[in-house]
Structure 1
């Protein structure tokens, strides 16, 4: 018993101590409820929050608690997956500030639906780390963030549409060490530099592409005593480089590239004795650095005119610490390699005007590990000087006119990556030649392989080969069975390779075989032979048969392109497990049947192409669950029924909708609620009714299209193709064109009624085709407001009246067809309309006159259209006058019919007012009773 006493005393003491110290073994209930409420507002495609159950929230994934108090102090829910397919989506609920002890919040890489950053985030007074990078916020950055006085790390970068009303609140973040506001617009923040200069402890500032606009020429007191990194690239700063930058004594990295800086580099930059990385590329600088810079290790002056006669500056030789030099697109013609420091390890001279042969002095750079001489005018044999660079690992000679052979590579034993695309190589070694190097990447696209195009036999000796690029190399032989099985990236598009589709690449992630001569059936064993496939492009070949079920079982597959083959039978109904699929393109085959319901399980699907097949039936209702769809192309099939209304209600990310050349009937549904829709093609169907007036409300068509900072979320070489009917012929459009083009095509239907004037609101529309319908009335003058319009086709309708002179203001119009209507009057001849000299675009309008028609305008004909237009206007005014007149007469007659009777008949008058009193009493009683019931509930 005596031996147990000390143990009991110790246990009791620890229990008391834990109570006094507040040691906790579980989270606080209020904080647990706040997290649960936060979870309810999120969509979680990757089930990252599946552990958020039970009482102890401190054990949940992404949640960190204090070991002492039990308070939640960390919430780390960042999405590390590239792209946003696994991103959390939804809202940040107002309950989150209940986590009052929170000091770290990371929501980066998620998607908060273009909502503003909540103002209540400024209530986390203990927060030291806040990361909202790439989280899909938009709007103004709330000034309430200035309340975070303990904040040390703030990252709001890569949110496409964030902006600052002013930057004053930033100066209040006196504890800040790291600031990244890349892509946040500073257009209205005129004092951004002064506010940043008030941060005494800031060490890193990244303001990339922030619309800074200009540099203040002077700064009275430079307070950046701790600043080591300043990155201001891509801001269109249109001034000279200010001298005060030379006073930031601790600066180690300075990036001013991709601006509009002019003049020469000030001598004060030489005062930055600790500077290691300097990037001044893509500016209008016309001089060079006047002297060396202390410890410079990396210098980039791409796209800069580095002197009156572009050449290597003399002072470079003195930079004995320089390891990396980028002078791409600097206009360099002379090759004084003896001016370069022997310490160089990375040298980029691509896209210059180097010509002829390289001098022997290049071989003296014995430390070189990477050399890029791509896109110059080098010609002749392989440079002897490069053969001396035995330590070279990466060699880029693409897009020159060099002739080389395998012998030229014999000394480069350290080589890991070789790019000789757009050159010629003579493969003269025997089949048993073993190179001295082991490559990770070989790039021979558009390469002339002599004496005849074929796969280099020595590739079989490269087991470490990770990436092989042989597209457009003219290869006409069968696919070999001896390529390294460890390949992960294989690009063989645009050749004439025959035989069966390659197999037995267990690590292969990206396989591009488009536009070859592969034939036969698709392998049903693909899950065994290439289980790691993420992107498979077998388009434009001669494949036949059906699509095997095994293709649905490739769990990592993100893109499948099988278009323009001879595949037949039905689309397999097996897609439930293909949860990662972003793109499915089965267009231009011979597929039959309907759209399988299992496709509706592809909730991450962004692009679906099933056009140019023999598919039939109705669009399945369950497809509304594919809410991420940006492109839906079902054109040139045999689909029937009405166009589903849920398209405009559920597919809110839709940018391209093509249902052309089917058998859809009924009226056009409400689609204007699709905020991103840019291409709408409903042509060649059996649609009836009128064109909805709401078509003037398409937000994405109200301004000229621009490139977006958010893009298709994968790192593939995917190029989206679609067929659109423009300028009278069907054209194939690629991803870039689709992203920039805007189109509405409702042609060849049974639409009637007037053309809505509201279409004039679509200032960004480039192509409008309403031809081959039954439209009536006049051409709206508002079309003249569609300033981006390039194509206008209103032919083969029943339009009447004069051609609006406003069309002459369409400066980009290059295709016009108004033929076969009932238009009349003189053809306007101003501005852009004068360029249309083909009279056929006005054919079938017997009452039109003037150039380019041969029919001259007599006074009567010329005025006919104007009179008809004036007649319609007068008719409209007359109808309005009659409306007001009838309303007035109706009021007078009704008033005296009632009031006159009440005045003349006393009994009527008594009954009337008694009825009014009774009705008032009933209403009063009902109101009193209702109020009493409401008070009792309270």
Structure 2
């Protein structure tokens, strides 16, 4: 029976109708089952493999497991078991693999575990084991894998010396006392990282391939010719120690098979790395955060097979002669087959040089590069996928050649770039152009179906937010949902954007962070935001938004940061679910018509005040209308009076004509009146 990762949730308490007499494998791992193991499991005496890891069994180690005659594997890792390590495990003598990792078992491992003579794999990492390593473990002659990491154990001189079959040993993060001289020479992988040990062994490890000594207290010189003591070593990790001595002693000797060397976070100087060139098989070299100054040692140039080089956070700089020939200088430092190069956080100045055609990942951030972006960066590196040039002094526009490149990540933030935002970067997954001087409107970005991170903050962008951010029904035909696939971040803050927030943004169901703060947006908060169930950050502050806060925001269960301050929002602040956790009034400050917790403004008082203000406003408007009526009548009378009388006073001919017209009108009225009276008398 194999039902791992099926979201079962619980054990069936009874399976009386089932016949398990021949069952050999029972796998219910990774189902988040929250209960104890039911009794019927212990009646399956034919079991050879039992996998219950990744559940929530809780409680003490079930003693009933000793009833089972498991022949191969018992996996109870990550089941939150507690208590002491059971002594009876030594009775399951046919067991070949035992995994009790990521629990809360305490005390020491009992000596009875030495009875498991067939055991090949033992995983006890991330428990609460203390004391010395059990003598019983030292008797497991068939043991191949042993993981005791993340405990609080001490290792005496002969504890593991007799494990002649042991190939993989992990005792990282949990060894107090360490003796190297008697470790099994059969080891192929040795992880001693995250301890406080000093390596002083002279033991010969003819089969060792991986040695991990990261995050220890190694200081000064390592043992001379360490690579001669480990002729098959391919992976050596020495990062985050206090190594300051001459590395030449360590790296000299016979040609080494070393392929990966990590010396990051130490205190090495470039003069100590001259003999790096002897490592002819080296593929990856990590020298992050050391004290490298000036040019790199010539030894790195001789590493013809090097593909990954990390020089982040040193003090590399160039001389005046080097700067004069910068397009040639940096490539002369480096092997031409590089695919990964990190020169970030150094002191390199001048224009960006021409690198190598095989480069896929190029990081040049936080230097002092200047000048315009050159088209040759993408033209000469057709395989380039990640390009980080942030925090430099670059200027000009983004060249058109970038539009048709294979870039997946483009970070040009914190420079002095101008022009418009490119809208056709076919395969881009991350576009970061923040803190530049880009202007114009935001393009439709209809040809970026893979975009996951879009940061255009702190620029001079204007216009509206394109509706196509959320609805690509008319453009994208090659995605199932026909929607833009941004599912991480949109940041358009601190620009000059106006208009409404498009309802179509709600189609970005996987969006985790939306920041539109510091713009001139109007209208209401779109209710479609309610369906963005993965949203963790929502910042709409410092806009001109109005209306009520949508009550659906309370259903965004992952929302961790909310800022709606300094808008014109009104009404009662919604309550319930996630919004109950936002108790800081500054989230809503600057909205004078908002009321309710966490603001100190009572909604009842706020409504009455609003009605009173509305009545006062109506009364004020009525008074103004009356004033304007009388004022217009008066102005009309004055204007009409002086228009007629003034013209008569100023022009004599108009005055004579006017009075003659009045005399004629009076004469006519008199004649009409006399005739009318005479007719009336005749009728009488």
Shorter-normalised TM range: 0.7 to 0.9
Alignment of 1:200-599 (within 5 A): 233-238=4-9, 247=22, 257-259=29-31, 262-263=37-38, 266=41, 270-271=45-46, 279-283=51-55, 287-288=64-65, 290-293=67-70, 296-297=71-72, 299-303=74-78, 310-311=85-86, 313-314=88-89, 316-319=91-94, 322-329=95-102, 331-333=104-106, 334-339=108-113, 340-379=115-154, 382=156, 384-389=158-163, 392-405=166-179, 408-410=180-182, 412-427=184-199, 433=202, 435=204, 439-449=208-218, 452=219, 454-457=221-224, 459-462=226-229, 463-477=231-245, 479-480=247-248, 482-483=250-251, 485-500=256-271, 503-504=276-277, 505-522=279-296, 526=300, 528-545=301-318, 548-550=330-332, 554-555=336-337, 557-575=338-356, 577-578=357-358, 581-599=359-377
Q: Does 1:622 align with 2:401?
A: yes
Q: Quick one: distance in 2 between partners of 1:279 and 1:589?
A: 53
Bigger Cα displacement from structure 2, 655-664 vs 482-491: 482-491
Higher RCO structure (Cα 8 Å, ≥6 apart): 2
- Out of 494, 515, 518, the residue aligned to residue 769 of structure 1 is 515
Residues 771 and 313 (structure 1), Cα distance of their counterparts in 2 relative to 1, 3 Å cut = same
Contact 1:523 1:548 in 2 (8 A): no
Native 8 Å contact 1:412 1:437 kept in 2? no
Contact 1:288 1:313 in 2 (8 A): no
In structure 1, stretches of 5+ residues that fail to align are 1-214, 216-230, 700-738, 868-938
In the aligned structure 1, how far is the partner of 2:87 from the partner of 2:187?
A: 27
Distance 1:399 1:597 in 2: 49
Question: CA deviation digits over 1:89-138, x for unaligned, max 9?
Answer: xxxxxxxxxxxxxxxxxxxxxxxxxxxxxxxxxxxxxxxxxxxxxxxxxx
Q: 1:830 to 1:238 in 2, by over 3 A?
A: closer
Per-residue deviation, residues 212-263 of structure 1 (Å, max 9, x unmatched): xxx7xxxxxxxxxxxxxxx664444556598656537xx7x87654345753
Equivalent position SS for 1:543: coil
Say if 1:809 and 1:567 are closer, same or farther in 2 by CA, change over 3 A. Answer: same
* Aligned counterparts of 2:613 and 2:74: Cα–Cα separation in 1: 69
Deviations 1:309-347, CA, capped at 9 Å, x for gaps: 65254574532xx54443333554452343432233443
Question: Is this contact kept in 2: 1:394–1:418, CA < 8 A?
Answer: yes
1:593 is displaced (CA, Å) by: 2.6
Give the whole-Å Cα distance in 2 for the aligned partners of 1:491 and 1:548. Answer: 22
Instruction: Provide the C-alpha distance between the structure 1 equivalents of 2:19 and 2:9, rounded to a whole number of angstroms.
Output: 17
> Which deviates more from structure 2 when the two are superposed, residues 349-358 or residues 826-835?
826-835
| Pairs within 5 Å for 1:35-74 | none
Q: Which runs of 5+ in 2 are unaligned?
A: 319-325, 474-484, 616-684
- How far 1:669 moved relative to its partner? 0.9
- Measured in 1, the distance between the counterparts of 2:551 and 2:240 equals 50
Give 1:438 shift: 5.8
Aligned length: 570
Q: 1:612 to 1:342 in 2, by over 3 A?
A: same
- For 1:640-789, list aligned pairs within 5 A: 640-647=418-425, 650-651=426-427, 654-671=428-445, 674-697=448-471, 742-789=488-535
Contact residue 157 and residue 182 of structure 2 kept, 8 A: no
User: In structure 1, what is the Cα distance between the partners aligned to 2:467 and 2:76?
Assistant: 54
Distance 2:40 2:309 in 1: 49
Q: List per-residue Cα deviations over 1:137-170 (Å, max 9, x = no partner).
A: xxxxxxxxxxxxxxxxxxxxxxxxxxxxxxxxxx
User: Which residue number in structure 1 is paired with residue 623 of structure 2?
Assistant: none
Verify the 8 A CA contact 2:423 2:447 in the aligned structure 1. no
CA 1:698–1:375 in structure 2 vs 1: closer, same or farther (change >3 Å)? farther
Report SS of the residue matched to 2:378: helix
Distance 1:254 1:609, change over 3 A: farther
CA apart distance, 1:841: 4.3
User: Please, what TM-score do these two structures have when normalized by structure 1?
Assistant: 0.54
Displacement of 1:795 in angstroms is 2.8
Aligned counterparts of 1:859 and 1:519: Cα–Cα separation in 2: 68
Shift of 1:804: 4.4
Secondary structure of the structure 2 residue equivalent to 1:288: helix
1:766–1:790 contact (8 Å) kept in structure 2: yes
CA spacing shift, 1:853–1:841, aligned 2, 3 Å: same
For 2:250 and 2:83, the matched residues in 1 are separated by 54
Query: What secondary structure, in the 3-state scheme, does the structure 2 residue paired with 1:548 have?
Result: helix
How far off its partner does 1:741 sit?
Answer: 7.1
CA distance in 2, matches of 1:234, 1:438: 37
Say if 2:367 and 2:391, in contact at 8 Å, map to a contact too: yes
How far 1:383 sits from its partner (Å)?
Answer: 5.6
Q: Distance in 2 between matches of 1:837 and 1:864?
A: 30
Which is higher, the Rg of structure 1 or of structure 2? 2
The CA deviation at 1:424 is: 2.7
Shift in Å at residue 482 of structure 1?
3.0
TM-score normalized by the length of structure 2: 0.72
Cα distance per residue 1:3-35 (max 9 Å; x no partner): xxxxxxxxxxxxxxxxxxxxxxxxxxxxxxxxx
The answer as to whether partners of 2:93 and 2:118 remain within 8 angstroms in 1 is no
RMSD across aligned positions (CA): 3.8
Q: 1:353 to 1:848 in 2, by over 3 A?
A: closer
Contact kept? 2:369, 2:392, Cα under 8 Å: yes
Mapping for residues 9-24 of structure 1, pairs under 5 Å: none
Q: Deviation string for 1:347-371 (max 9, x for gaps)?
A: 3322233211123333322343443
